[in-house]
Amino acid sequence: MKLRKGDTILVISGNNAGKRGKIIQALPKSNKVVVEGINIRKKHVKPTQTAPQGGITEFPAPIDASNVMLVCNKCNTPVRIKINRLENGERVRVCRKCGREVS
């Protein structure tokens, strides 16, 4: 998966299409990402010792990585990226639009 925690993404399909957000968790095994403010679900929580009030909490649920596009932090555009391997074996992600490295 080409997405990492901290990346800004644009949602391209589903209920949240067109929204931008920041990845707060990447789940490479299931090919999903959790994005700040996107795909908010409500969970009814019973009172426990750590949360004595219980009640309803809202949390962002994971969405499929194929439904989002990385927004290049250099040209501020949703782009496809390619992986370049440097001579020292390090992999860097390169924006296909502006050709610069996406950090």
Least separation in angstroms between residue 29's CB and Zn ion is: 28
Task: Please choose, from the candidates 69, 86, 81, the residue with its C-alpha nearest in 3D space to the C-alpha of residue 35.
Answer: 69
**2 or 97, CB closer to Zn ion?**
97
**22 or 73, CB closer to Zn ion?**
73
**57 or 84, CB closer to Zn ion?**
84
Query: Which residues contact Zn ion by CB under 5 A?
Result: 72, 74-75, 95, 97-98
Long-range contacts of 89-94 (CB under 8 A, 24+ apart): 93/2
